[in-house]
A and B are shown apart, each in its own frame.
Chain A
């Protein structure tokens, strides 16, 4: 099967799964933004996406995509490491026009995976998971308020978002290139589009983080002062 045993096939799978995950991030980020605009609205969405069948199917789908993306990432990295040969270069220097992110996608992926685990523990385990298990889920907005007001969580999440931004800036145009949607004229354009989408996604996430960090800590400060 060409999706397993040809290099372009493997990259095709990476692109498709990566692109789907990026779409999910776009959706997730827009959803988060609601938390700033209206806390009730956000909780409504949380409720809506509880343990309903479509949410479950969606979650399973996402999990599948993520797992495939990760397994392929490892497989590709191993093959690529071997292809480089046993002796490595003594001196290496990054070529002009080569993005730092593109050389470090696996490392960035690791950071993102770590962040994802934390995120699942922080939120998903307390919301969708408990609901699946039959208990009452936590209040979404309260959970956000609690988590993002802690400075260490804020820093970890911020680092996670930075890694995500780098991963996306390369990932999005790279996916388009792998799918063949590129040519001499469009290559700079898709790189630009890629940066814009990555920035929008990450800014939306960061906005929520900053909003609740500031809100939480200012409240704290005023409370202490009182």
Chain B
């Protein structure tokens, strides 16, 4: 049960957005394989603090894979080598004794580094603010059961809605494209009658904002969906394309 391993960490340290960063190497011994990756980093930070050094800064919050705050690029994969998990759910049993683990921040033009492994993902919020909503005010809405929605559509909308906005899609994409994030929201709302009403307006606004913020163009490599911790399907992007092209032809 209680197996421990020794690992070498190569961690990206960067003092600020405009400062040049570099890798630093740390050795950690006797890490329990039952600990999570972030708990391993906690141990590293405790060690650094005890040596009166600055701890490594990284984003994390709920530590149960739903808030989307954690954002580490581990050994060439956003959220590490395990599938369908966020960094906080990655456990050290995925690594072997003696492994060297390289930890980098999300790298994308639209996600500038704030400090070490912490990046600024407000670009995603801006895309949401451009149109990721149904324009209803509080109150004055019809009864929840007034419009039946086929179970299939509701379920598919839910699959798309499971996006946690962590940014792994843009981080994984060789083009730095945020298409899967945009597609997830556009698909969710386009599938539901409540969102259908302003679907055309929404898709144009959200995509326009995405382009404006400096995200890249999708080339359908599928890395986003492969690395998505919540398994948002690639077909969402097809729906986004369809919605957008149809909206443009209607204009």
A–B: direct contact at CB < 8 Å: yes
Interface residues of A (CB under 8 A from B): 2, 5-12, 76, 79-80, 82-99, 102-103, 105, 170, 173-174, 177-184, 186-187
> A92: which B residues are within 8 A, CB to CB?
76
Q: Give the distance to chain A from B119, nearest Cβ to Cβ, in Å.
A: 10
> B244: which A residues are within 8 A, CB to CB?
6, 8
Query: Is there an interface contact between B214 and A83, defined as CB atoms closer than 8 Å?
Result: yes
Within 8 A of A (CB), among B17-50: 21, 23
Query: Is there an interface contact between B234 and A187, defined as CB atoms closer than 8 Å?
Result: yes
Q: Give the distance to chain A from B80, nearest Cβ to Cβ, in Å.
A: 11
> Ordered nearest first, which 7 A-B pairs have the shortest CB separation?
A180-B242, A93-B76, A83-B216, A83-B176, A80-B175, A182-B238, A95-B226
Contact partner of B239 (CB less than 8 A), chosen from A76, A85, A99, A180, is A180
Q: List 9 A-B contacts (CB under 8 A).
A: A80-B219, A84-B174, A84-B216, A90-B23, A170-B220, A177-B234, A180-B239, A184-B233, A187-B234
| B108 lies within 8 A of chain A by Cβ | yes
Query: Is there an interface contact between B102 and A98, defined as CB atoms closer than 8 Å?
Result: no
Complex CA gap A219/B219 in Å reads 47
| B55 lies within 8 A of chain A by Cβ | no
Q: Which residue of A lies closest to B112 (CB)?
A: A85
Query: Is there an interface contact between B110 and A83, defined as CB atoms closer than 8 Å?
Result: yes
| B4 lies within 8 A of chain A by Cβ | no
Complex CA gap A51/B242 in Å reads 40
> A102: which B residues are within 8 A, CB to CB?
219-222
Query: Is there an interface contact between B222 and A90, defined as CB atoms closer than 8 Å?
Result: no
With contacts A6-B211, A96-B226 taken as known, whether A91 is within 8 angstroms of B235 at the C-beta atoms is no
Q: Which of A7, A89, A94, A99 has the most C-beta atoms of chain B within 10 angstroms of its own C-beta?
A: A7
Per-residue contact bits, chain B 141-171, to A (CB 8 Å; 1 contact, 0 not): 0000000000000001000000000000000
| B70 lies within 8 A of chain A by Cβ | no
Within 8 A of A (CB), among B222-241: 222-223, 225-227, 233-235, 237-241
With contacts A12-B245, A97-B226 taken as known, whether A80 is within 8 angstroms of B176 at the C-beta atoms is yes
Query: Is there an interface contact between A82 and B109, defined as CB atoms closer than 8 Å?
Result: yes
| B107 lies within 8 A of chain A by Cβ | yes
Besides the known contacts A10-B217, A180-B238, 11 further A-B residue pairs in the complex with CB atoms under 8 A apart: A7-B177, A8-B241, A11-B218, A79-B216, A80-B174, A80-B217, A83-B175, A83-B214, A92-B76, A174-B219, A179-B242
Within 8 A of A (CB), among B192-229: 207-208, 210-211, 214-223, 225-227
With contacts A7-B177, A7-B216, A10-B217 taken as known, whether A88 is within 8 angstroms of B241 at the C-beta atoms is no
> B211: which A residues are within 8 A, CB to CB?
5-7
> B238: which A residues are within 8 A, CB to CB?
177, 180-183, 187
Complex CA gap A180/B73 in Å reads 30
Complex CA gap A86/B14 in Å reads 14
> A76: which B residues are within 8 A, CB to CB?
217, 219
> A179: which B residues are within 8 A, CB to CB?
241-242, 245
Q: Which residue of B lies closest to A184 (CB)?
A: B235
Q: Which residue of B lies closest to A86 (CB)?
A: B109
> A80: which B residues are within 8 A, CB to CB?
174-177, 216-217, 219
| B104 lies within 8 A of chain A by Cβ | yes
Query: Is there an interface contact between B241 and A178, defined as CB atoms closer than 8 Å?
Result: yes
Complex CA gap A154/B225 in Å reads 40
Contact partner of A98 (CB less than 8 A), chosen from B75, B107, B226, B246, is B226
Q: Which of B225, B238, B245 has the most C-beta atoms of chain A within 10 angstroms of its own C-beta?
A: B238
